[in-house]
Amino acid sequence: MKQNRFVRLLCAGLALCLLTACAIQSDKPAPMEPVIVESKPEPVPAESEPVPAEPEPVPAESEPVPAEPEPVPAEPEPVPAEPEPVSVEPEPVSVEPEPVPAEPEPVSVEPKPVPAEPEPVSVEPKPVPAGHSFCVAIDPGHQRKGNSDPEPIGPGASQTKAKVASGTTGRFSGLKEYELTLAVSLLLRDELEARGYQVVMTRADHDVDLSNAQRAQIAADARADVFIRIHANGSDDPSAEGAMTICMTKNSPYCPQLYDESRRLSDLVLDGLTAATGAKKRSVWETDTMSGVNWASMPVTIVEMGFMTNEKEDLLMASADYQQKLACGMADGIDAYFAALN
């Protein structure tokens, strides 16, 4: 509407200017000449050509009109931005339960010392039952993994030895000494129990960590009447063979009161073993260098069943039949020991 009004005013102004110019040029004040001008409207459209040129800035003014609504859609943009912190707030909610599963971790760690407790428990529950005549403690020599930590060689001794060694190996059979000693010890246990003895074992598998002093203490805790320690021998001389037993000397600085009975036990067990197996009878070795003997509190003997460095004896000791003979022979010697007491 503003554009039409402007055009009309412009056209009226132009027409007035034309009439005034015509009047000035004519000296005659003839009133009819303007009528002639009215019959010529053609110059009006000619003059009106610049009229559309003027309105060009008018549509330019309307350009900011559509620009004004642009901020209107811009205003709702922060509206969807508001829920973004709402979705962020629940994230700490999912984080808070994470420490909850972390709490049971110490629970699974605390019971770890519990399985360590049964080790002494497996030793203590083997006391001599009331009314039983004799109890024999059997120590299968060595273990899978030796322990080189030092311990006193005997009560009050300043000299030390390794707590326990892993033993030797059969040069021809490949059998480990700790495997051989346990196999024969289990057969000896079964044989003695069949003969009416109460038996306590210092170990029943290979994966233990028991020093020689601890093994002697197991026998003492069980109130055993005798302590039989099972071993096998070895030598740089492949021809060395035969069985032997070991006990303390008569003048032992650790347990001289046990010498007489330990020597008699050693003699009788060696006699029984060699008689049952036909093995060469070597001797009873008296020494105060064996910590397992020095820590004993009852008659004790170490039985060296044969040489694992001798081909014949190594292969014999690896056989089940010979192992049974070894067990029966030692049981015969133990029978003879207790028979003399009666």
| Domain contains 120 | no
Spatial separation of the C-alpha atoms in residues 152 and 163, rounded to whole Å: 9
Spatial separation of the C-alpha atoms in residues 277 and 316, rounded to whole Å: 10
**Residue 197 and residue 328 in one domain:** yes
CATH code for the domain in which residue 179 is found:
3.40.630.40
| Domain contains 91 | no
Could you say which of 18, 44, 79 is where a domain stops? 79
Q: Of 52-56, 76-80, 287-291, which has the strongest mean pLDDT?
A: 287-291
Domains in the chain, number: 2
**Residue 176 and residue 280 in one domain:** yes
Assigned token pair, 117: 């407790």
| Domain contains 145 | yes
- Of the candidates 138, 243, 246, the one whose C-alpha atom is nearest the C-alpha of residue 184 is 138
Rounded average pLDDT over 251-276: 98
**CB-hemisphere CA count at 13 Å for 340?**
10
**Residue 74 and residue 140 in one domain:** no
| Domain contains 126 | no
| Domain contains 93 | no
| Domain contains 34 | yes
pLDDT of 342: 74
User: What tens digit of pLDDT does each residue of 134-189 get?
Assistant: 999 999 999 999 999 999 999 999 999 999 999 999 999 999 999 999 999 999 99
Banded pLDDT at 67 (limits 50, 70, 90)? very low
User: What tens digit of pLDDT does each residue of 72-114 get?
Assistant: 344 434 434 444 443 434 444 343 434 433 443 433 333 333 3
Read off the amino acid at residue 14: L
**Residue 198 and residue 316 in one domain:** yes
**Residue 172 and residue 279 in one domain:** yes
| Chain mean pLDDT for the chain | 77
| Domain contains 155 | yes
pLDDT of 38: 44
User: What tens digit of pLDDT does each residue of 17-52 get?
Assistant: 666 655 555 544 444 444 444 444 444 343 434 434
Provide the residue range defining the domain that includes 279.
Answer: 131-341
**Residue 301 and residue 228 in one domain:** yes
pLDDT of 15: 67
Q: Is the pTM of this model over 0.85?
A: no
**Residue 27 and residue 172 in one domain:** no
